[in-house]
Every structure is written in C-alpha cells, then in structure tokens.
Chain A
Amino acid sequence: MQKKKTYWKSEIELDKSSEWIDNLKNKEFAQKLPKDTLHDTELPDSETSRRDFLKYVGFSTAAVSLAACEGPVNKSIPYVFQPEQIIPGISNYYATTLFDGFDMTSVLVKTREGRPIKIENNNDAPVFNCSNARTNASVLSLYDSLRLKNPKFNGEDISWDLLINRAKKQLIDLKNNNEKLALVTSSYPSPTTKKIINDFIDVYPNVSHYYYDAISQSAALNAFEKAYNVRALPAYDFMKAKCIVSFGADFLGDWNGGGFDTDYAKMRIPKGKKGNAKMSKHFQFESNMTLSGANADYRYPTNSFEQKLIISAIYSELSSKNYPKALNESFKKVVKSITKELRKFGKNSIIITGIEDEDTQRCVLAINNILGSEVLVAEKYTQIRQGNPKSFDKLIDDINSGEISGVILSGINPVYTYYDSKKIISGLKKLKFSMTFTMKEDETSVHSQWVAPCPHSLESWGDFELRNGIFGLTQPTIKNIFDTRQFQDVLLDLAEIKTTYYDEIKLLWTNTILNGTTFEKALHDGFFIKKNNKKLTYSDNVDEVVKRLPGKKNNTGLELHLYSKTGIGDGQQANNPWLQEFPDPISRVTWDNYLTISKTDASNLGLKNINQSDGALDGSIALINLNGIEEKVPVLIQPGQAVGTVGLAFGYGRTKGVKEEMQIGVNAYSFYKQSNPIQIINVKATDEFHEFACTQLQNTLIGRDEIVRESTLEIFNTKDKKYWNPMTQVSRDHKEIDVTSEKADMWQAFDRSWGHHFNLSIDLNACTGCGACVIACHAENNVPVVGKREIRKSRDMHWLRIDRYYSSENTFEGDIEKVENSSDFFVRKELENPSENPQVTFQPIMCQHCNHAPCETVCPVAASVHGRQGQNHMTYNRCIGTRYCANNCPYKVRRFNWFLYNKNDEFDYHMNDDLGRMVLNPDVVVRSRGVMEKCSLCIQMTQKTILDAKLEGRQIKDGEFQTACSSACGSGAMVFGDVNDKDSKVNKLRSNDRMYRLLESVGTEPNVMYQTKVRNIEA
C-alpha cells in the first residue's frame, strides 16, 4: 500500500501538544448552545422588568391568537398585457457579456418573470466563458439596495433633464474658454464605446481620454507592446500546455483578466492508456500562496528578487549565455531541472509571470519566443486592461496644478483605489466641473459635483472585443430598476448627437463586424467570431535587459505582495454579502482581509494566531508602515508564504456605498504606490488581537485521512489500483471482503436498476478551488447569509464548501532519507518546518447523498428520507430541529437555521429588503428558523429536466441533468448525471480507477464520488 500522508487544515494542528485539537476531535459540536437572545452579554444589563416581561408575553400571546384567527388574504396581480416571451413559472435565458471593468465573462442569464436570478456559463462562447465567483454573485449586486436611484448635483437629487442641460452648458463654456478636460474610464474594450468617445471628443476637442485600472497590469502591456507592437495582453492556450512555469502569475485567479482555468484543468486530468497516462506539469514560483500555487506540482516559495534571478538564469540557460553571479547552488539545480523540462516539451511549454516589472515581462516573452511556445497566442490578445499608471499620475498632478479644469469619470473609483486618495480629493475640489458615472454613491462620487447613476451590466446594452477578432454583446435582461442611464447614452446627449448607444452598436456591428450575419443572431448567441487574425511577429531584444534583471536585493524590510482575492477582487462588489461570506479558497477566512505571513517571520516578529476551543481563530494585529503610510492589519499565518514576504488583499476597507457590516478590513490600495503590487514595508507587532471568522478549523478530520486520496503520476502509471486507491476491507466469515460488496451490507436497498439514479463525480485533479460552485449554489438554493459573528460560531450555511487540506511528508520515515540524500535548498527549507511549503488539495464537499444515510435513521420525525433517484431528501416542513441528523452525519454537511435569516433586521443582508429578495429562486423554499437544511443535489433542477422530457415525450440525453455546482464548474471537475444511463459520462467515471468514495469504510454508500488526485511529481 502507498504510504500514508498526514493532512492538516491549519498550521496549529501540527502542534501535537495543543489541547484544543483533542477538544475538537471529541466534541463534534464544540460550540455552546446559544442563549435565547442574540446578544448574550446584553441580558444582565437589560432594563426589562418582570412586569414588563409579563406584559409583553400577554400582549404577544393575545396578538398571536388574534392573528391566527384568520388566514392571510393573498393577492395575485397578473400582467395587464403579458409579454409574449414570458410565461409565469418558466425561466428565460439570455446570452450576454458581463463586464465591470475588472471581470469580463460571456454568460447566460436565467430570468424568471422578467428578473434575472442566476448567472450560468455560456458554454458556446469561445473565450471568457466560465464565470468565476464574482460574476456568479454579480446578479445579487444588481439588487443592491444601496445603488444610486437618481442623478445628483452636489449631493442633492435632481432630474436627468436638468443634469444634461446644465452639464452641457458647463461643458460648452469650458470648451469656449479652451480649458482642458479629462475623460477617465476603466479599461473598456468596446468598439462602439470607443467610437462614441471619439465622437464626443470631436464635439469637445478640449477633452482627452485616459484609461485607469484599479489593479494595473501596465508592465505586461508595455512589454507586449515592445515585443508585438500592440498594447494588450496575449492569450494563452493552456490546452496545449504540457509544461507550465509561472513566476508570481496567479493565472487561475485574476492574472490577465482570468479565464484560463477551464483549459488548464482539462490538461491536469491524467489521460491516455493505463501505464502511459499523461498530464501537464506545473512549476510555480511565488510569494503568496495563490490558487495557482496550490494547484502546482512543484511550488517554490520565493520572493520577487529570487524569481527574477531564476527567470534570467532560465533565459541564459536556454540562450546559452552565462549564469548571473548571484545564483546559488540549489537555485542552479532548480533552473537545470526546469530548463530540462522546458526543452523537453518545447513548443508545448510556457513560462509566464505576474511580476509588475517591464524587464521581467519582456524577458519572459523572450523565453517563450526561444521555446517557440504555441501556448502563447499573441494575435488573440485582449484589451481588458489598458490603463497606464504613469499618465494617470500625471493627470492627478495636472488636476492639482489647475492645468485641467474638469473631469468625467466612468466605472472607476480612484478615491478608493488610488494610493494617495487625499491628493485626488483635493484635486476634485479644485475642479470647475466634475462628473462621476457610478452605480453606487462611492468614495469618489461624494466628492464630485455631478453624480450620474449607471445601470448594472445586467440592465445595459454593450459590446466588447473579448479577444482580438472575438466579439461579445451585452443586452439588458431587466428594465432599469432605478432612474439610471448608461454612460455612453449620456455622452451622446452631452455632445448633442441624436442617437442612442444601442443604435450605434447595431450600426457599427452591421457595418464592420458581422460580415452578413444578422444582428439578432449575434445577440442570441451573445458573441461573434470574426476570423481576421493576422500573425503577430516577435520583435524585441532583451540581452541588455537580462543583465540588469534581478535588480537590487531587498534587505531592509518585508516584501509586501498585494493581491486580489477570489471573492472580493478589486472591491467593486464589496457590498455583496455572498462574496463577503465566501470563504477564501486558501485561508478559508470570510468577511476579512489580513496580512498573510510565514510562520518563521511571525515568530520572529512575535505575531501569533490563537485558536479558540471552538475552532474560532484570533490573530495578532500588526502595524505595517510604508514610508509613513501606516495601517493596523490583522495577521494570518499562511503556510507556504515565502519567508521575508507578506501578502495583503485588495478590495476591503470600503467606506462609502456599502452597508456598515461590510465596511470591514483594510484598504490595501493605500500601499499601492506607483501601481506596483510589490512594496517594501516594515511590520511591527501590537498587543491587540483580531477575531477572524475562519471556517478552516471548524471541523477536523478526526484522523480520518482516507478522506483525501492522492498519488503521483509515476505510481498511478506503474502500480496497481489496489496500491494507491485501495478499497477498504472488512471481515466476514473470517474472509476479507470489499466494504462495498453486497455481503457486507446489512441494509435493504431500493431496486435502483430502473428509472434515474443520480451520481456526482468530483475530480480532485481538475478542481482548482475557484469557488464558482459555492456562489452558484447560493444563488440556486436561496442559501442565507449569516454574517461574520455567526460564521465565527461555526454556523455557516454553505451547502457546498471547498475543504482545503495541507499536507507534507514530514511524518514519514521516507523523509529522513530525503533529508540525508538531498542537498536541495528547497527540500531542506521544506523540512525544517512542514508549514513552510505544504502541498494543497481542494475538496468540494456537499451532502454525499448516502444510499445508507446515517442521518435518515436518527430523524425522529422522518424528515430526512431517501429517494429512489439517489437523492437524500430533506423535508423542511417536517423538520422539528432536533439536529440528530447533523450529529450523525460523518461528512458534516448539514446546516441548521439557528435564526430566521430573512426579514430579520439582525441579519440585514439581501434577504432583509424587498429588492434583495428579488434574487431568490422561486422554485426553492426559503427556510425558516429551527430547520435543518442541506444540499439536495438540486432536485428542483433534476425534476425540471425530467418534466421537460415528459412534456416533450422523449428520452433524456446525457449532460441534460445538471446541478448548480456542476453547471457552474467550468473546469469540468464536477460531472453530474444518471448512472442508469450506461453511456453517461458519470457512469464511466464510476468505474474509473481513480474513483473513491468518502469514508467508504463506514458503509454509507454515498452517491457522490471523488477522483483521486494525481500529482505530476517524482516521488
């Protein structure tokens, strides 16, 4: 048998002397029972006397009994004129492109009775077709109650007519006086918008247009321009990538606009004949632990200096030049092995970097050119980022010096995202004219004269060039909820051009893009491919660049790496409770940003992470300082963080346009000097502690390591399945038999040979941990948001969680050998402390829908029962909330409604206002207090598929059955279907060698299965 590894969820678990871990192991529900009131501490100070209490009791009893006398009268109000396409109870889907200046995705929007309720992937679209967690959650941002409802002038509500007329007058005056104006927008790869802006500038020649990105990728843009003469970001075809070397590029995150995980994941599944299966090999050099690093085969925690050094060394090696002097022995070894791999795979290898340094970026492009990499597709570039921080810095100076008299801002929030917000505020105050187009009354708009409310992407028209030659259309899926107008329409009005954005799009597309295809067809598809890519040729010389590349080594402080989190991103959707409560895939922390630090640095600086007995996490608060900019930041010890570096996420610390509960965290943009995400800072410890709401420790493995299974490609290819994926054996009549065999079964099972039998397969190799499924599940199943306080008490309601396990081999005898035989720097570094560079496994866990479910047998009211189709049903109306089922569930997937989470001021999230409740799925009930709930394998979706087939009188094809998570999973890690359909994909996966089920030895026979993770590493 393959030697066993130890898996751990938090670095503290490695400390065997710790008491709390025993406590967690022994008590499945470590938290205490809640008191009757939310605020336990308030009770003793309460002023309510006994008499008052009796009065209230009397009154409420009387009120309740009176109210109970009559049933409520429900009103039904049908349409006066029903639109032809809308049938109440039937969903309509519209293909559209969502773009908010940061994320761009081609999606299908599910609407019910005219309101969008869910975002689905547009699988037909060629690029950007996989929505991430933020895009999935953007449907809730549409129903944000804090959105601007009408235009404003100096804080007062005004009408659009007034705004247009008066602003136009002002603009004409400025034009006549020949005073300069700046139009600053987020990157906007829209052909029609570009035309409209040009038309606007034709009318007002005193206006100049600037692009500004909250998170800039200017260095990459400049490097690409030097190499290929286009200021853009190249495309990468990871389907062709057999060897990936990444230096600080989180390409499974937001690097280059994201959207690479689909292709990457497909190459991570071992394919080919048994014994000769192949998968891509992934090396990652990085400082923060990112999603890409977590998925890599080899991960090297390094700082940016070391990364640059290795890049230059690889370049020198590949181009047969000399090593830079600073390279030590262990680095040399790494470089050797990587260049060997790169050479071996040649055009199928790729090297990428996320370091915001033009020289580094140029060098990497040069290496790809030497390799002749086919993964990099230069001509399919995208202009999703176009900003130039230098010109923006100059603009701010010009505004402050009075050279520029007015600005029009659209889609940006520089007061929040620019590192020196005071400078922007003082500049804005000096201006004669300032107008902000925004969805929310944000930090910038409160300092602006004119505030023009914009519609959400789901209410807008639009067109985008997703990649060169591939176009996307945006169409409204709901009528404007508030009195909003699109930026483009207002520009046209201000320039007195008598047309609309929609007409302009239609005209431009019909004349220049569509080549005869009808506009309606393109609108129906949501995208259009125009094949006109002419090959771009590489023309850059980096010999000089390589020589100066590593630059100076930092010896003064810690290297701060600013990054965008999977959930919050650049911070635009900070008022979205789904995203705030979304556990970060790596740290599993919700509702916070924090300084990630390595264990070594933390103990040197005296920073601590303390785990409370119930699994809650407290972290020291550190004082960080960048040339006088000081901020107090809570600290989270992050296994795998490179020593000498710290990480901090953008997107937190919002103060305007977000609810009080979501005004949390630290604004990392104040450290984003010169738009460089790497800064040298000083960190000091303070005595204070911060309370995290971290889900990582809330349930431990209790020593059941068989939950995660993994192997290496070599073992997978050479050894028998029994070696690396053994079936648990039990003894019957003194003979060892498989635990799943019928003989070992003491239950009577349904006859499942007819009808449907649903199974869900989750491939641990393909799962990148992106969390799109978590948000999709929220949206589909009306999962409530419970808030930071409740999460801290382990009362999270996520039906689907992605468990993240760390592992390292330090507990095995084999490692001692490894140390003795190796002079490798990284091996030594790794073994000094297991948390220095752990391996990571992501495992999505939802209800396992056991055929012999332990929860069902203990329910006293039979609210949890089994269905013939394999789903474990949870009948909310029958549930009386004993929570026996949750106690008896070995997978800890059942969630209890401790409170009423809707229409309750204590939980002031989307379910507490009429607007936010519009996102609710009308096919799924909203659960009440005292009820247990859990994943249903989206029974509403499977039932709908069955009904559609019955109505049309046909058989169901494979792939029609979907759950919210499987359809949101762009990487193909989740496959759902009917195993009674012998040709179905999921049925084939059931007999796959890598298949295993969680805790098979318990005999629960789950209907959810997992595919063993295979790492492409040499053992």
Chain B
Amino acid sequence: MIFNYNFCSLFSGKTIFICLLTFFIFLFGSNCFSQDDNIKKGKALFNTNCAACHKINKRAVGPALKGVSDKYEKEWLYTWIKNSTAMVKSGDARAVAIYEEYNGSVMTSFPQLSNEDIDNILAYTDYIPPAPVAAIQTPVVATQNNSNISNTIILSVLVLVLLSLLTMLILVNKTLKKIAISNGVVFEEKPKKQKTPLWKLFIENPFLVFLSVVFFLFSSAYVGYAYLMQIGIDQGYMPIQPIHYSHKIHSGDNQIECKYCHSSARVSKHSGIPSLNVCMNCHMNIAEYNGEEDLEKGYTKEFYTNEIKKLYKAVGWNEETQSYTGETQPVEWVRIHNLPDFVYFNHAQHVSVAGIDCQKCHGPVEEMEILYQHSSLTMGWCIDCHRESDVNLKDNEYYTKIHEELSKKYGVEKLTVAQMGGLECGKCHY
C-alpha cells in the first residue's frame, strides 16, 4: 500500500511536468503550423486516408512516403493515388515495380481525393519539421532538476552551518570551563542516591506484571491474527511482466475499451488475457511509440518501441516484409488476480448481466502504468458487495417472473444479490 501511495504521488508530479511540456509544444507548434495551412490540411487527410498503411519515415504495409514527390512526378502520383489498380493493369513500368515489390498487395484507390488534396498530402509528407521539441524539453527538465538540486544544497548548507555552530558552542563551553578551573572555581559533585532499579520495582509489583502480561498476550494475539489474516492476500501485487504493457497508454491515453481486448469477459467466466493476434489488430500499423514519455522512470519512446518489438518477436511478425514468419513464442504473462481453485467466479455474470464496470473491482486500470491487484479479493470483499448491490431486475426477461412473484408476495421492488441467494456457499464453491 505504501508503495502504491508513493507511486501515485510521483505520478501526479509527472503529470504536471507533462502538462508543461505539452503547453510549450503547443505554443511552438501553433506558431509553426499557422505559417502553412496546406500542411495542416495535408496532415488531416494523411491521417484519415493514408496512415492505415503508410508511415512518413518508415516502411509499413506500403512504402515510406517521405520525399515521395521527389521520386515521382505529380501527374503520375495523381493517377496512381486515384486508381492504382488500373495503372498496374495498364502495364506502367513503375507501377508494376511497386506492385511486385509489395508482393502483389493492391493499394486502395482514392477517387474521392482531388488534385489539390493530393498536393496537400504531398506537402505534408515533404515537410521536414524542425526539431524544436528537444530544444524546449531540455530547459524544462533542467529547471526542474536544478530546483531539486538547489533544495538539497540549501538544506545541506544549513545543516553544515548548524553543525559548525554546535561544535563552536561546545568548544566555547570547554574553554570557559578550563578558564574557571584555572581560576580556582570548585565544581561540586552531586552525591549519587542509592535508587532501586526500575526493573526491580516492576517485578515487585504483581499487578503491573499481570497487566503487562495481559497486554503482551493480547497484542501478540492481535499481531498473530493480523499476520495470519493477510496470508494469501496479494492486494497491490504488481509483478514484472515479460512485456511492459502499459494499461495507462492503451486504456487511459488511447481510450481503448477494456472489453475490446478482454472480449471473453462478456460471455465467459474468464476475462481472458488477449491473444497476440488481438494486439496485432492495431500494432500491425503502430510499430513505434510516439506518445508521452516519463524520463524519470526510463519510459522513453525507445523503451516503449522496444516493447512493441518484443510483441513482434513473440507473434512472429517481420516488419520488413510486413508478414508473419510463423515462428511464435507465446508470452508467459504473470497472473495477477489469482483466485483459489475452490472459488468459481464468472466474469460474464458480473460484466454482462450485472453491467458492473471493470474498475469496480480492478481499480483505476486506465491510470496504471504497471498493473497491480487493486482489490483484496477476499471472501469478505465479495460478500460486502453482494449485500449492498441491487440486482437489475428490469431489463432482463429472465428476472421478470421472479420480480412478479416477489412484488406480489412481499411488495419488494428492489432485491439485493444476497436476497437472490448470492451469499449461498454453493453458488461460488463447487
């Protein structure tokens, strides 16, 4: 728990830093883009039409588009983009060459794009942004770091000053004493009283002994009980995974729905760790990380990109040829939420029937850079919720009969899970 707390506080610090950073980028960026409207339009068009298969600097499904207008004349590009298939069929040498280079995969035709649109896109792909981000970044980081350093220096200087003051005082005191002795001042020695030691007093008082024994017994029982009760409870369990998968980036920053990846939670007892082909739905096109960084923790762009490379290795994806090699290495994730074998838990019941948010049990997953166990997963925790939660009787035909019978009999309109038998042992233990 303590660790989590620290983690969270650091986290918020980081957020402030990121806000600052984006502010600067925004300032600079808006200045820059306002100079060329075409590039801005081109970027928008590129993102909607081209980005699925093309990247600026890197080969993806299709070739990298940086400097494409230098390679081909504009007229050729217009016809190619509007209807590439026809061009290949007509036997245009360059068109056929591209077609063959990319193993006969056909580029989608964009007849809806006007020549002006294409010009804008080309303007965007040709645009070389100056490298301003790094320039801005450094001073921000530096100031932050400086302030940290100065604090420590000030503190240590203060400590040093205090220490030297102390030593000076002691030295002064000593010298004064020496002077006094040499001047003949006599220091009286205090006579030592014969006191009974405290422990003897304690032993001689039976009531006190009794009290403390009782205290000792109770406190050790308390400590022992507390120790036993936490066995097997792994709240806050945050193991290191073979691939650093950030729920914060996927679920938080990119707003991907939980059940997009954990699709079996809707229908099955397992929420399911997504198979790697689900990752590849997006990561076939997202080969590198371009989002925010957390330099303090070492979560740089390279770091994240490297993690994506791990995924490619596991799934057997060859970036060069944009195809699967067939050599796979299944990922051995460390399981975080471990229910004992004797408990039956069904995700579908909670997610689909009851419509509970994933966060109710799993916590703020969209903020977790590294996933940890949010809830205690103890039986008491389950039961508490079953006692409080009402069953949604209205929208489900299954409950209509039960609801009718109950309202007729007892006039009950609301029904908790517990009243439906949600506390019965056999409902979860079989």
Contact = CB atoms under 8 A, between A and B. Distances in A.
Interface string B395-430: 111111110011001000000000011001111011
Contacts of A506: none
A79 interface: yes
A82 interface: yes
B396 A950 contact: yes
A869 B425 CA distance: 12
Contact of A71 (B232, B396, B420): B232
Contacts of A871: 426
Interface in A854-884: 863, 865, 867-869, 871, 873-878
9 contacts: A78-B274, A80-B275, A80-B329, A82-B278, A90-B268, A753-B405, A868-B421, A936-B430, A939-B430
B194 interface: no
Interface residues of B, number: 57
Main secondary structure of the interface of B (DSSP, over half): loop
Give me the 7 closest cross-chain CB pairs, A-B, nearest first: A873-B426, A89-B268, A82-B275, A79-B275, A74-B335, A89-B270, A754-B405
Interface stretch (B54-62, B99-107, B182-190, B346-354): B346-354
Interface stretch (A262-270, A309-317, A586-594, A919-927): A919-927
B334 A73 contact: yes
Contacts of A50: none
A89 B269 contact: yes
Contact of A754 (B272, B333, B402): B402
A876 B430 CA distance: 8
Contact of B330 (A71, A80, A755, A877): A80
Given A68-B231, A925-B429, A949-B398, 14 more contacts: A73-B239, A75-B335, A82-B278, A89-B270, A90-B267, A755-B421, A867-B426, A868-B424, A873-B430, A874-B430, A950-B398, A950-B399, A951-B267, A953-B397
B273 interface: yes
A867 B421 contact: yes
B273 A76 contact: yes
Contact of A76 (B231, B333, B396): B333
B406 A754 contact: yes
Given A80-B315, A88-B272, A951-B267, A925 B421 contact: no
Interface string A924-939: 1110000000001001
Nearest to A936: B430
A865 B423 CA distance: 11
Contacts of B333: 75-78
Interface in A608-629: none
A276 interface: no
Interface stretch (B63-71, B148-156, B210-218, B336-344): B336-344
Contacts of B335: 73-76
B341 A926 contact: yes
Contact of B398 (A74, A88, A953): A953
A78 B334 contact: no
Main secondary structure of the interface of A (DSSP, over half): loop
Contacts of B409: 751, 753-754
Interface in A923-973: 923-926, 936, 939-940, 943, 946-947, 949-951, 953-956
A877 B344 CA distance: 12
B395 A953 contact: yes
B248 to A, nearest CB: 21
A940 B344 contact: yes
A926 B409 CA distance: 41
A81 interface: yes
B331 A78 contact: yes
B276 interface: yes
Contacts of B352: 951
B348 A82 contact: no
A954 B348 CA distance: 16
Given A868-B421, A939-B426, A77 B396 contact: no
Contact of B426 (A754, A875, A946): A875
Nearest to B353: A950
Nearest to B328: A80
A899 to B, nearest CB: 18
A755 B415 CA distance: 13
B92 interface: no
B334 A81 contact: no
B397 A955 contact: yes
A936 B426 contact: yes
A876 B340 CA distance: 12
A865 B425 contact: yes
Given A71-B232, A947-B348, A955-B401, A88 B270 contact: yes
B243 to A, nearest CB: 12
Contact of A925 (B268, B399, B405, B430): B430
Given A755-B421, A950-B398, A954-B398, A81 B277 contact: yes
A81 B331 CA distance: 12
**Which one of B270, B343, B399, B406 has the greatest number of beta carbons of chain A within 10 Å?**
B270
Interface in A724-755: 751, 753-755
A865 B426 CA distance: 8
Contacts of B344: 923, 940, 943
Given A755-B421, A867-B421, A940 B430 contact: yes
Interface in B235-293: 239, 264, 267-270, 272-278
B377 interface: no
A867 B423 CA distance: 9
Contacts of A81: 275-277, 328
B332 interface: yes
